[in-house]
Amino acid sequence: MKNPSRSRVAGLFFLALVSSIAAPVAARAAPPAFAAIFGDHAVLQRGEPLTVWGTADPGQRVSVSLGGETAETKASPGGAWRLAMPAMAAGGPHRLTVSGGGAATTLNDIMIGDVYLCGGQSNMAFPARLSTGAWSDLPANPDLRFVNVQNVSEAAVQGDLARPLAWQVVSPKTAGEASAVCYYMARALQQRQKVPVGFINSSWGGTTIQGWIGASSLKTLPAYAKRLDALADMASNPAKAMAGEARRHQQWWEAHDPQAKAQRAWSAPDFDDAAWPAVTPAGSWKEAGIAALADFDGSAWFRTSVTLDEAQARAANKLQLGPIDTYDSTWVNGVRVGGGSTAWVWRDYPVPAGVFKPGRNVIAVHVLSGGTGGGLTGQPEHRGVSTGDGKFIALSAPWKYQVGTRLKGLSIPPAPWDIPTSLSTLHNAMIAPLAGYKFKLAAWYQGESNAGEPKEYETLLPLLIADWRKTFGQPRLPFLVAQLSSFGAVATKPAESNWARLREAQAKTVRNDAHAGLAVTIDVGDRADIHPPQKAIVGERLARAARALAYGEAIAPGGPEATGVTRAGEDLLVKFKSAGGGLRTYSAGHAIGFEACAGAECRYVLAAPQGDTVVLKGANAPGTTHVRYAWADAPFVNLYGAEDLPAAPFELEVR
């Protein structure tokens, strides 16, 4: 006889097994996550209430712990969470953990100390490994950490940085990829403050300041309102924005090129280009051996095709063409997918779904040379179609070309999302997502790309500083500016200089801001290289400004600064502050680079330092209105204070 209890147990087991197979397994909740800026080895700002944020399942309760402190909150319906934690003293290492729904994420080796934000263009992005003396001067320092923010441009404000990000502990193996200026500044301050220091590099070579200012701030300037409206369209309705940009480009072409309306048919996929000559574009059209374009300045058309199967057409989402010199409008199957306005910028154009088709796809590019050579200047192997699953389909078919219209000295105004002259897009993707991450100071090294409009920079730089302070909720955030160095033509006689004007705009901004400091770099430039490698001196001068502004040391933030010019008989007297015990000249008994001006007419004058004053001998001629110093793109200077800091360039009216 069977055991009834054993039979019943076997039956229950069978039913449970069948139920477990038939019923869906409950999905395990993903562990809550931190925002991208938080990571192993990160540094958080000491002495400030901390904000920590990230993502979790919608409505999930999350708990964050750090250094013995715990805080809780609930994720929003969109899955975002943010909470505050009390201020902490310098120290560590700590663990930072977020838990919820039975799962947790832990970050290790978190330090509490001082955090610096560094932004700007290529001279801030310039890596430490290329700086003068770097081969023997990047020692390990576990209390110095850094992270580089990826270069990303977005039409709308982003809730998080693009991943992946990785905080690095400074060592001979890692420090070479840090921003050189930011590294040397941070190293000098860390050695002095003896606390952990973290620095965040959010910079992009060649970019203008307008891209780093938030749209709400930039829109206070009426000149930008219309273009910011177009940017808002790109954020909310890209198809509408691209159609508007296509109309604007076509209107520009028709206003400047009498052949533009007829040539518009050349972008159509069914246009017959069989009679056009073939070419393999590589370098400028002169370098590509296009005889008809050898000495040509104007427009030309290029056409090619790529064959895709059904799966490739469905996955294709980007057209990559490499750099184009200088301006372009580009179509895929008669749909305009993009255009650029800078010769060195690679053209990587997102292509909306449905534009690529199975079979033959026609690509047409209308190029305007802009006076600098012209053509599809990249290498052929870099041109192709990218797919969402990471494949690259080369453009291997021959290119055809046709000479357009000779047009000299023209430029096409860029779209508001075009790098490197975009509006607000870098702020949206590389600054705004850091809101909540407190900073001890911010440092800015930029201006080369705005040197053509120095007067406008007088408005834009204060606007950027105010915008960042507002973004981070730190109205008195110390803001350090590295002044433009020397680059370009050497002056053999007094002349106007946009680079000098922009330096003056930077100096004026700092003078009008009680929480800003200036690092003069005029003596460590290279007139033949816009990226001078002597970054250690620049970083250490920024560190000195930080010691005064951010750490409250009783020192001058920089070197000698002219405060006024007065008349004294036949001479003019230039009074300086922050001379550190007296002015001095190097390699001469007088200071070079001083000019006395009567209106727009300037002349070099003999300058003799006496204590904290420079006497301009015989400069008080009738009609003299103002004095300038180091007023050139690449001036030679030899006037310093007693602490080996150069006198700042200036322009001052005579009192």
Q: Which two tokens stand for residue 37?
A: 């800026």
- Per-residue pLDDT tens over the stretch 427-468: 999 999 999 999 999 999 999 999 999 999 999 999 999 999
- CB atoms under 10 Å from CB of 590, counted, come to 16
Q: Please say whether the beta carbons of 111 and 92 come within 8 A.
A: yes
User: Residue 254 pLDDT more than 50?
Assistant: yes
The stretches of 47-113 forming alpha helices (DSSP H) are none
Phi-psi region of 254 (alpha: psi -120 to 50; beta: other; left: phi over 0): alpha
Which residues on neighbouring strands pair with residue 170, listed in sequence order?
Answer: 141
| Confidence grade of residue 82 (pLDDT, cut at 50, 70, 90) | very high
Contact 182, 201 (CB under 8 A): yes
User: Using CA atoms, how far apart are residues 419 and 202, in angstroms rounded to an integer?
Assistant: 15
Asked if 266 and 257 touch (Cβ cutoff 8 Å), the reply is no
The CA radius of gyration of the chain, in Å to the nearest whole number, is 30
- Residue 19 located in a structural domain: no
Q: What pLDDT is attached to residue 471?
A: 98
Which of 358, 374, 406 finishes a domain?
Answer: 406
CATH of residue 378? 2.60.120.260
The model's confidence at residue 20, banded by pLDDT at 50, 70 and 90, is: very low
State pLDDT tens for residues 600-628.
Answer: 999 999 999 999 999 999 999 999 999 99
Q: Find how far residue 338's CA is from the centre of its chain.
A: 21
Nearest Cα to 300, choosing from 248, 368, 352, 355? 368
Nearest to 114 by CA among 477, 446, 464, 483: 477
CA–CA dist 98, 62 (Å, integer): 7
Backbone CA torsion sign across 562, 563, 569, 570: positive
Strand, coil or helix: 215: helix
| Token pair recorded at residue 248 | 């604007």
% pLDDT > 90, the chain: 90
- Look at residue 613 and tell me if it is in a domain: yes
- In percent, the amount of the chain with pLDDT more than 70 equals 96
Q: Does residue 418 have a pLDDT over 60? A: yes
* Residue 574 included in any domain: yes
Has residue 165 been placed in a domain? no
59 belongs to a structural domain = no
Q: Which domain holds residue 351?
A: 238-406
Q: Which of 597, 584, 590 is nearest to 631 (CA)?
A: 597
DSSP letters for 1-40: ---HHHHHHHHHHHHHHHHHHHSPPPPPPPPPEE-TT--T
pLDDT tens by residue, 145-197: 999 999 999 999 999 999 989 999 999 999 999 999 999 999 999 999 999 99
More confident residue, 527 or 294: 527
Of the listed ranges 41-55, 286-300, 415-429, 639-653, the least confidently predicted one is 286-300
Q: Strands, DSSP E only, in 311-398? A: 316-325, 327-332, 335-340, 346-350, 359-368, 375-376, 384-387, 392-394
> What pLDDT score was predicted for residue 3?
43
Confidence of residue 25 (pLDDT cuts 50, 70, 90): very low
| pLDDT level of residue 5 (50, 70, 90 thresholds) | very low
- Tell which of 381, 406, 431 closes a domain: 406
What is the pLDDT at residue 23? Answer: 43
Q: Containing H/E element for 538?
A: helix 535-549
Cα separation, 47 vs 37, whole angstroms? 19
Q: Are 630 and 636 in contact (CB under 8 A)?
A: no
CB 351 within 8 Å of CB 332 = yes
Residue range 495-520: mean pLDDT, rounded: 98
CB 14 within 8 A of CB 141: no
Amino acid identity, position 550:
A
pTM of the predicted model as reported, rounded to 2 decimal places: 0.92
The separation between the first and the last C-alpha atoms of the chain, rounded to the nearest angstrom, is 121
Q: Which of 348, 371, 406 is where one domain is finished?
A: 406
Report the candidate in 414, 296, 311, 415 with the shortest Cα–Cα distance to residue 357: 311
For the cut 50, the answer to whether the pLDDT of residue 264 exceeds it is: yes
pLDDT digits (tens, 9 = 90+) for 374-406: 999 999 999 999 999 999 999 999 999 999 999
Mean pLDDT of the residues in the chain: 94
| 63: in domain | no
Given a cut of 70, is residue 473 above it in pLDDT?
A: yes
CA 129, 135, 136, 142 dihedral sign is positive
- 90 Cβ partners below 8 Å, 6+ apart? 46, 111, 112, 113, 114, 195, 196
Number of domains in the chain: 2
314-334: per-residue pLDDT in tens? 999 999 999 999 999 999 999
CA 626 to chain centre: 36
Q: Residue 29: its pLDDT value, please?
A: 65
Compute the distance between CA of residue 35 and CA of residue 613 in angstroms, rounded to an integer.
Answer: 53
Q: What is the pLDDT of residue 624?
A: 97
Residues with Cβ within 8 Å of 327's Cβ and at least 6 positions away in sequence, in order, are 339, 340, 341, 367, 368, 370, 411, 412
DSSP 654: B
Whether 644 is covered by a domain: the verdict is yes
Mean pLDDT for the stretch of residues 135-150: 96
- The SS3 of residue 544 is helix
Residues 632, 490 contacting (CB under 8 angstroms): yes
- Model confidence at 21, pLDDT cuts 50, 70, 90, reads very low
> For residues 595 and 654, is the Cβ–Cβ distance under 8 A?
no
* H or E element, residue 228: helix 225-236
CA 109 – CA 47 distance, rounded (Å)? 19
**Residue 57 above 50 pLDDT?**
yes
Q: Is residue 373 part of a domain?
A: yes
pLDDT (mean) for 523-549: 97
C-alpha span between 484 and 507 (Å, rounded): 10
Residue 506: partners with Cβ closer than 8 Å, 6 or more residues away: 447, 457, 461, 481, 483, 484, 518
